[in-house]
Amino acid sequence: MGKIYRESRKMNKKFSFPFVLFLLLAFSAVNAQFLRQELAQREEIEEFLLTGDIIRAEDIGEGVTKPKRLYLKKGDQETSGCWKNVEGKHMGNQEGWQYEIAAYRFDKLLGLNMIPPTVEREFDGKKGSLQLWVTTPYSLLTIMQENIPMPTTGTAAVRISRAKYIVRAFDSLIANADRTQQNLRYTEDWRTILIDHSQCFQSARKHTKNLMYGKKGIKEIQLFRSLPRSFVENVKALNFEKIKDAVGPYLKDKEIKAVLARKDLLLKEIEDMISEQGEDKVLYEYMEK
């Protein structure tokens, strides 16, 4: 762990990425997933975010949630994180800092590993979420605005395509009302990183009757097409107790029940895809190293 800290500080000027976590870790050939030995370090990162001394804070200056960047230090190690304490409603959607933590825990529960470590942290006398700061070369917004070409062949193109469908399925399960081009990020080798989940876990009736995406998507009619078999199996295994154990106090019972309603909708759509196209066309195996 200390080695990663030291390397991240050396490379910080080049990448503007304390920890350089997502740029240093080795990934499988076509999936945005940490290696097993690297996943074991997440608890240490969470502990640093929880207990590191806050040495300064600055306004980030983007986003309606008015987040702050907190700089942390413990011994001779330093990093930073995005802190939010937003609560209430935005454009009719429930919003809260606690959903950032719940989304991260769901990401771990489902084995997707696309969201940076996120914990509860008090700052300036207020509770909020603190997420490891990540700086990637591209957001989807930057790509669109600057006409940056995305790979169309090779493993990078497969990685992008697969991640796109995973994100749609994940956002549908957690009812993410605010997936934007700005909070969909890409590393230099085109791995997908997800940030900003304060408008997830909507529980209004419409969010238990329809998914965000899919054949009858609330946000857009966009299909899932292909998904990792392990993700689908993990979704099937979800129940109230398992979710409650994972998210702790960060979701209400009503919000968990809404997730389970969407679970059924998502699995039904996947079953229909398999029936129409065949299982080998819809589900695939991760190729882990």
Residue type, 66: K
Contact 213, 168 (CB under 8 A): yes
d(CA 161, CA 30): 10
Would you state the pLDDT for residue 38?
59
Domain boundaries, the chain: 2-132, 138-284
Would you state the pLDDT for residue 65?
63
Which residues does 143 contact at the CB level (< 8 Å), separation at least 6? 150, 186
Model confidence over 131-176: pLDDT tens digits? 999 888 999 999 999 999 999 999 999 999 999 999 999 999 999 9
Q: Give the sign of the dihedral formed by CA 30, CA 35, CA 36, CA 42.
A: negative
Would you state the pLDDT for residue 64?
61
Q: Supply 65's token pair.
A: 């949630």
Q: Supply 182's token pair.
A: 């700005």
Tokens 């997730």 belong to residue? 259
Tokens 């009858």 belong to residue? 216
Which residues does 227 contact at the CB level (< 8 Å), separation at least 6? 165, 166, 169, 270, 282, 283, 284
d(CA 32, CA 273): 23
Would you state the pLDDT for residue 1?
32
The kind and range of the H/E element at 241 are helix 240-247
Would you state the pLDDT for residue 91?
84
Residue type, 230: S
Q: Supply 207's token pair.
A: 């969010």
Alpha helices in 110-212 (DSSP H): 140-146, 154-173, 206-209
Would you state the pLDDT for residue 14?
28
Q: Supply 265's token pair.
A: 């909708």
Instruction: Give the residue ranges of the chain where pLDDT is below 50.
Output: 1-32, 288-289
The kind and range of the H/E element at 101 are helix 98-109
Tokens 């771990």 belong to residue? 108
d(CA 210, CA 78): 43
What pTM, to 2 d.p., does this model score? 0.88
Name the maximum alpha-carbon separation found in the chain. 58
Tokens 């989940």 belong to residue? 197
Q: Quick one: which of 113, 255, 119, 96 has its CA closest to 178?
A: 96
d(CA 281, CA 193): 25
Would you state the pLDDT for residue 19?
40
Strand positions, DSSP E, 199-258: 227-228
d(CA 139, CA 142): 5
